[in-house]
């Protein structure tokens, strides 16, 4: 596993010496000439260990140590000093240093001290990750439902969780694809390793390659230090590529090579690096249509589609709405210090009649809103948001069914499209990214449609 180590010393030659020695141990070394520079590096990079000189101009070692313990209390610091008195060593340990080494130092002694500090850091990270996973609602316990379509999903999870096969999760936005990916990881053979999620649609195209594979310092404007990419961060664990259908064609070839050969090449660095990653991809698009339209590589599609798991829309598993709603009411109510006995029959009927275009995500938001306004132990029909009872946008096929064929097809389709977008904006309280997810399109496509249809969000949301 690769670690990032920051060396802080006002002597450039010593920084170079340490960088050369530590780089042999699968360590990426960052350097800083003083304490203030070191703090800037810590703000921009994920550092696992700091090795700092004791005496430096400006902010010295003790001051830097105090600032690091204040800002990053779990980040280990090793102090270097040529003034290796017992007093300095004891003082640094009292102030929170992990250990100290004396100049001139022995390389073997340095390796042992650094190795111990990084093991300590890994243990802390693992503990934090496990706590975060326990706090997540998106666990296997949250995979609630007993409908036939959802039982097929649970069966597929059980079949593939111990495998290292690449998985492709498909389904509408909000159907719980990341929840399923986390469940597969948590109950698989990589559960004690990292789970790294990347939303391919949320990262600017120009930064996506660097985000995936990392980069070397100076590789492009703004690359002020080396950066470890998501593939390396997920080494030995699981990499979840959400919205894979939005990935630019130019990057798809490199993703294909990484999947085939488990080799990556950081931007600006000719050295190849091997990675051991289990990949789970997800999309709300029809990738076969994208392949036919030359928007997605056919070879990448088949590389991803080793074990496909289609997730049903919530309207296709109506019998799961009630248990899901009860689950969300219990967990969200407990977080808010409230206890609910359940929902009234009228409230459950109202939820069952609604089409849930935003699927499970929309249901969770609906229940969270209801838990806030509900005053009794039972959530009533009047506690539910008003949009559940409003008339839904006209389905495109309804025009033909009623025999009302439009004279201007483009204008009629634009009206239907506008109705869906306005409904999504209303349900998301005007949050455009959330509205785009509700109707299953990318944010870029959503912004384009707003402009095309002349919709001004600031006039919709009050």
pLDDT tens track for 407-452: 666 676 777 777 778 777 777 777 888 888 777 777 777 887 888 8
User: Between 99 and 167, whose confidence is greater?
Assistant: 167
* Whether the predicted pLDDT of 367 surpasses 90: yes
Pinpoint the residues of the chain covered by CATH 3.40.50.300.
139-312
Sign of the C-alpha dihedral computed for residues 266, 272, 275 and 278 taken in this order: positive
DSSP, residue by residue, 126-176: HHHHHHHHHH-S-SGGG----SHHHHHHHHHHHHHTTS---EEEE-STTS-
Q: What is the mean pLDDT of residues 362-371?
A: 92
What pLDDT, on the 0 to 100 scale, is given for residue 322? 92
Residues 6+ away with beta carbon under 8 Å from 19: 7, 29, 31
Q: What is the mean pLDDT of residues 265-287?
A: 91
Structural contact between residues 145 and 323, judged by C-beta atoms closer than 8 angstroms: yes
- pLDDT averaged over the chain? 84
CATH class of the 315-388 domain in this structure: mainly alpha
Pinpoint the residues of the chain covered by CATH 1.10.10.60.
396-459
Strand partners, 81: 102
CATH class of the 139-312 domain in this structure: alpha beta
Res. 401 pLDDT band, cuts 50 70 90: very low
- Do β-strands 27-32 and 49-53 pair in parallel, antiparallel, or remain unpaired? unpaired
What pLDDT, on the 0 to 100 scale, is given for residue 408? 62
The structural architecture, per CATH, of the domain 3-133 is 3-Layer(aba) Sandwich (3.40)
From the centroid of its chain, how far is CA 300? 22
pTM of the entire structure? 0.59
Q: What is the mean pLDDT of residues 115-126?
A: 84
Per-residue DSSP letter, 228: E
The structural architecture, per CATH, of the domain 396-459 is Orthogonal Bundle (1.10)
Q: What is the mean pLDDT of residues 114-123?
A: 87
* Whether the predicted pLDDT of 386 surpasses 90: no
**Alpha-carbon span 142 to 190, nearest angstrom:** 20
Pinpoint the residues of the chain covered by CATH 3.40.50.2300.
3-133
């Amino acid at each position: 596993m690769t670690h990032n180590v920051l060396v802080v010393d006002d002597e450039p030659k010593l920084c170079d010496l340490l960088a050369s020695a530590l780089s042999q141990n699968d360590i990426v070394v960052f350097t800083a000439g003083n304490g203030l520079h070191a703090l800037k590096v810590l703000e921009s990079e994920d550092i696992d260990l700091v090795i700092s000189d004791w005496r430096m101009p400006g902010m010295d070692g003790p001051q830097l140590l105090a600032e690091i313990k204040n800002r990053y209390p779990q980040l280990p610091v090793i102090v270097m000093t040529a003034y290796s008195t017992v007093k300095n060593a004891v003082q640094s340990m009292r102030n929170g240093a992990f250990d100290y080494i004396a100049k001139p130092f022995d390389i073997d002694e340095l390796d042992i001290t650094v190795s111990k500090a990084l093991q300590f850091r890994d243990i802390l990270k693992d503990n934090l990750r496990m706590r975060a996973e326990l706090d997540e609602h998106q666990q296997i316990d949250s995979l609630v439902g007993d409908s036939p379509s959802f039982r097929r999903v649970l069966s597929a999870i059980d079949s593939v969780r111990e495998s290292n096969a690449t998985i492709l999760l498909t389904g509408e936005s909000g159907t719980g694809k990341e929840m399923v990916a986390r469940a597969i990881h948590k109950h698989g053979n990589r559960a004690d390793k990292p789970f790294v999620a990347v939303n391919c649609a949320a990262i600017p195209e120009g930064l996506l390659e660097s985000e995936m594979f990392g980069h070397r310092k100076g590789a492009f404007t703004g690359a002020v230090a080396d950066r470890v990419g998501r593939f390396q961060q997920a080494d030995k664990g699981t990499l979840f590529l959400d919205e894979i259908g939005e990935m630019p064609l130019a990057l798809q070839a490199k993703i294909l090579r990484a999947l085939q050969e488990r080799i990556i090449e950081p931007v600006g660095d000719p050295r190849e690096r091997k990675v051991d990653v289990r990949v789970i991809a997800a999309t709300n698009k029809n990738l076969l249509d994208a392949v036919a339209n030359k928007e997605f590589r056919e070879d990448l599609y088949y590389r991803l589609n080793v074990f496909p798991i289609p997730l049903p829309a919530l309207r296709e598993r109506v019998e799961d709405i009630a248990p899901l709603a009860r689950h969300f009411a219990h967990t969200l109510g407990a977080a808010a210090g409230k206890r609910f006995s359940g929902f009234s029959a009228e409230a459950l009927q109202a939820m069952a009649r609604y089409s849930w275009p935003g699927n499970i995500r929309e249901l969770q938001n609906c229940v969270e809103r209801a838990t806030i306004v509900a005053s009794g132990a039972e959530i009533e029909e009047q506690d539910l948001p008003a949009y559940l009872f409003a008339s839904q946008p006209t389905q495109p096929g309804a025009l033909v069914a009623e025999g009302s064929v439009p004279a201007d097809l483009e204008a009629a389709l634009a009206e239907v499209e506008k109705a869906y977008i306005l409904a999504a904006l209303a349900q998301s309280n005007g949050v455009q990214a959330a509205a785009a997810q509700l109707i299953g399109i990318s944010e870029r496509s959503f912004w384009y449609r707003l402009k095309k249809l002349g919709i001004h969000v600031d006039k919709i949301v009050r």
